[in-house]
Structure 1
Amino acid sequence: MTSRSSIQKLPKALAQDELEALQSVRMNPRDRALIAVLSRCGLRVSEACSLTVDNIHWSTGTPSLRFTGKRNKERVVPMNLEVQDVLREWLESRHFSDSPYVFCNLRNGQRLSRKTVWAAMKTYAQRAGIRHVHPHMLRHTFGTDLADRNVPVERIKDLMGHASIETSSIYISVSAEQKRHSVDRIDRRSRLSRWWSRQKNRDYRFFAQPRKQLHIGVLQTVGRDEELRQLKDNLSKSIDTLVIGPIGVGKSHLLALIEAENVLKVKTLSPAKEALINIAEELHKIGRLCPDGPDKEEGERPRARQQQAEMKGETLIADAGADQDNNQSHITEGGDASETDHSVPNIAPGASIPFETIKKQHARTTVQGWTDMVLGSVEKNEFVLIVDDLSDMTSSVGRLIDKLNRKFTIIAALPEVRRPHEKHFWKFDRVEIEHLSTADAKKLIRQCAAGANIEDYAMTETRVLQQSAGNPRAIIEIMERLRKEPAVTRSAVRDVSHTGARAQIDLTFAVVLILLFVVAARFFMRGIGSMEGYVLAGIGSALLVGIRFFMYRFKR
């Protein structure tokens, strides 16, 4: 008799209609992808729970799962298009993008447990109205489907990671292309569905890892050596300078590179009072602010020294009265103290007062009062004032610049000097900043692309040059946007755009006018009985309506 223990049980597998019923149940993207991996790739539940994002290889000719399975043997299982679809949907929608595990816990991003998988399968089986389903049944379903389609045993053995009695630790080598064809045979969707999946995954499969947050690091200055040299030369000669150029060409970047002593930097001069308060605060930090303004500037510091000497002299006299025998000595010390008093540091009297206190005391001080305070605290050309942005230039800001220019060497940036404001900048030297040349723009693109996985770099470079028109900020923003994509594919590059660097012309009125003319011409041709003209006018109307769509589609 044969003992019950010696009888080898046949693996329990789901029928095709049962698997379809299970997949039709409403579930989250993670569990849908998990069921696909178990039933279409034949993974054990422990292998699926331990699967990491690095085990998914999209960049190969055959997208596959490469992992270490049972008995510490490496296993490679190709993914058919159905698995690619659901797995990509899950990877792009999961909240824990930094979790190393493909199937992570939805609450904390940790490794999914076997118990959770078993419970989920039981719940979905009940919803589908089929018998109890455990995860290993999906693996058996994978093997059964392969056998039903006459896949050779050697290939089944390799795909499922089985070991024979004779060679328990050796895998039979089968080409990746044969594996792919074998797995594709169990994708029972229509040809149209499979074709559509292939089109969607064509640009995705090259990407070896799921999205990582890559940020552009510190960039080197490109194509601005001459402008920077001119700025430094003007600074050394105390020449007021305007840095003029369109938005995004790097004016602020150039101003940030200026390094010199006694430099005060402000973002803007509008509103004027707030800008003056910021300048006053910078002066206070270095002990140069005189809160009482220019009227007391000359006499304040000597009086401070005199008060200190008088206080010290009173102390010496008190000491002399206490010790008459040392009176002469104290007088001598008092004289020495007077001589030493001349070395009192040349610090503004307001330096010891917190700036917030000064600010509260001058809460009702006008713009003119703050201007007098700032100008009274510095000597002519002692400080350089760098203004990052004068794009909000007004007449009041212009008058403030005229006043500050009496004491400060000013270096400021703005897009253009308008005619009403020319009188405020008549003695300023001007440094024109243009868009980068093609060669310099390519250098900047290479810097921004460092470390990124780009499928077609030549196409990416051409597209960025076209969209940015050599504008540095536009180049950086486009590259930042591309690096946030799940994959820098050709389609992602074609879809990216940037309009900030290009002058836009609104042609809506012209297009509508031409369209109305063509429609009127159509009715006119119909009225005179000219069928040829009527048809041509209709074709023209259709072309005008769809011209933008066609231009975008055929644009490379």
Structure 2
Amino acid sequence: MHPRTAIERYLRQLAVERGLSKHTAAAYRRDLAAYEAVLEARGVSAVADITADDVAAFHVSLADRELAASSVARHLSSVRGLHRHLIEEGLATENVAADHRPPKLPQRLPKAIGVDQMTTLIEAAGGGVDATPAQLRDRALLELLYATGARITELVSLDVDDVQEDIVRVTGKGNKQRLVPVGRFARRALDAWLVRGRPVFSKKGTSTPALFLGARGGRLSRQNAWLILQAVAERAGVENVSPHTFRHSFATHLLEGGADVRVVQELLGHASVATTQIYTHLTADALRDMYTSAHPRAVHR
């Protein structure tokens, strides 16, 4: 079987079994297209003929491109997954990519902002009695982003029916759904948007169940949600803010408030509690600082 055919079969299997998002599927496709190009340049026309030297050549090509360590790791993970698939399908007898492990990446602590900064940021969106429909939408968007800890893609994918009283049904990676409660600030902002803002936007386009609408009445795009956040952050004078800042702040503030890490795991939609526990490093640092400043014998003078 030609490598290109095997890669297409592997990508289809991933799409069916793991329910990959469009962005993740596109990343796999790009990684494996680069791998196929190296195989083609080396004259490999059948997956049974791929050797460890061919994989090594691909690894070297990644180094030549001076990619970031995270990008190299992703490329190699894609290739290792492909070769595991070849063995499972009986198309190869040896995993020739087994020895090419992705570089170990340094653990980066998530960036969170303080509660006061978050309040300033959300307030900058507007949303008062005299707010425009766009301001009502922007306020509801940011309130919900912080209230749920949802990824920006998950948030713009919400439909009106996904909001039930004080519960939001969020669809995450692999089409897995989770229920996330929202507080009165987010609920109030959502009500204002649904009653006073969304009807104005919906008249501009065809009927859509989307919760958040863009200027033409269609579903708000992820890119436009980004632009909204950046504009609000600039007005608020808060720098280096992204949608993930809201997610990280959501998790950090919950843990600092005493929430159990497994509850936060469920709310974030993490498959493993180990992924969530990275946030406990932040809260541990806060506790250490508080202890050092408060305990009379914590600091040696």
Q: Is the alpha carbon distance of 1:143 and 1:165 closer, same or farther for their aligned partners in structure 2, counting shifts above 3 Å?
A: closer
CA distance in 1, matches of 2:162, 2:256: 28
CA distance in 2, matches of 1:23, 1:154: 27
SS of aligned partner of 1:6: coil
What is aligned with 2:105? 6
Q: Which amino acid aligns with 2:226?
A: W
TM-score after normalising by structure 2: 0.50
Q: CA deviation at 1:161?
A: 0.5
Q: Is the 8 A contact 2:150 2:170 kept in 1?
A: no
- 1:102 equivalent in alignment to 2:201: no
Residue of structure 2 aligned with 1:66, choices 159, 164, 169:
169
What is aligned with 1:40? 147
What is aligned with 2:270? 162
- 1:52 equivalent in alignment to 2:159: yes
Q: Which amino acid aligns with 2:169?
A: R
Q: Is the 8 A contact 1:67 1:76 kept in 2?
A: yes
What is aligned with 1:145? 253
Unaligned runs of 5+ in 1: 169-556
Q: Which amino acid aligns with 2:236?
A: A
TM-score after normalising by structure 1: 0.28
Q: Is the 8 A contact 1:126 1:132 kept in 2?
A: no
Q: Deviations over 1:43-98 (max 9, x none)?
A: 1100111000111112xxxx201132112111100111111100111000121174
Q: Is the 8 A contact 2:265 2:273 kept in 1?
A: no
Q: CA deviation at 1:99?
A: 3.0
CA distance in 2, matches of 1:45, 1:67: 11
Q: Is the alpha carbon distance of 1:84 and 1:165 closer, same or farther for their aligned partners in structure 2, counting shifts above 3 Å?
A: closer
Q: CA deviation at 1:165?
A: 7.3
Q: CA deviation at 1:104?
A: 0.9
SS of aligned partner of 1:10: coil
What is aligned with 2:69? none
Q: Is the 8 A contact 2:261 2:273 kept in 1?
A: no
CA distance in 1, matches of 2:230, 2:148: 20
Q: CA deviation at 1:109?
A: 1.5
Q: Which amino acid aligns with 2:105?
A: S
Q: Is the 8 A contact 1:122 1:132 kept in 2?
A: no
Q: Is the 8 A contact 1:33 1:86 kept in 2?
A: yes
Percent of pairs identical after alignment? 37
- 1:88 equivalent in alignment to 2:187: no
CA distance in 1, matches of 2:169, 2:273: 24
Alignment of 1:428-467 (within 5 A): none
- 1:132 equivalent in alignment to 2:231: no
Q: CA deviation at 1:113?
A: 1.0
Q: Is the alpha carbon distance of 1:26 and 1:152 closer, same or farther for their aligned partners in structure 2, counting shifts above 3 Å?
A: closer
SS of aligned partner of 2:169: strand
SS of aligned partner of 1:133: coil
Q: Is the 8 A contact 1:12 1:137 kept in 2?
A: yes
Q: Is the 8 A contact 1:38 1:48 kept in 2?
A: yes
SS of aligned partner of 2:168: strand
CA distance in 2, matches of 1:131, 1:79: 26
- Structure 1 residue runs of 4+, over 3 Å off? none
Q: CA deviation at 1:24?
A: 2.0
Q: Which amino acid aligns with 2:157?
A: S
Q: CA deviation at 1:152?
A: 0.6
Q: CA deviation at 1:26?
A: 4.3
Alignment of 1:345-360 (within 5 A): none
Q: CA deviation at 1:157?
A: 0.6
- 1:19 equivalent in alignment to 2:156: no
Q: Which amino acid aligns with 1:71?
A: G
SS of aligned partner of 1:87: helix
Alignment of 1:517-528 (within 5 A): none
Q: CA deviation at 1:108?
A: 1.7
Q: Which amino acid aligns with 1:19?
A: M
SS of aligned partner of 1:157: helix
Q: Deviations over 1:290-332 (max 9, x none)?
A: xxxxxxxxxxxxxxxxxxxxxxxxxxxxxxxxxxxxxxxxxxx
Q: Is the alpha carbon distance of 1:103 and 1:67 closer, same or farther for their aligned partners in structure 2, counting shifts above 3 Å?
A: same
Q: CA RMSD in A?
A: 2.1
- 1:120 equivalent in alignment to 2:219: no
SS of aligned partner of 1:66: strand
CA distance in 1, matches of 2:193, 2:174: 29
Q: Is the 8 A contact 2:140 2:189 kept in 1?
A: yes
Alignment of 1:541-552 (within 5 A): none
- Aligned pairs, how many? 160
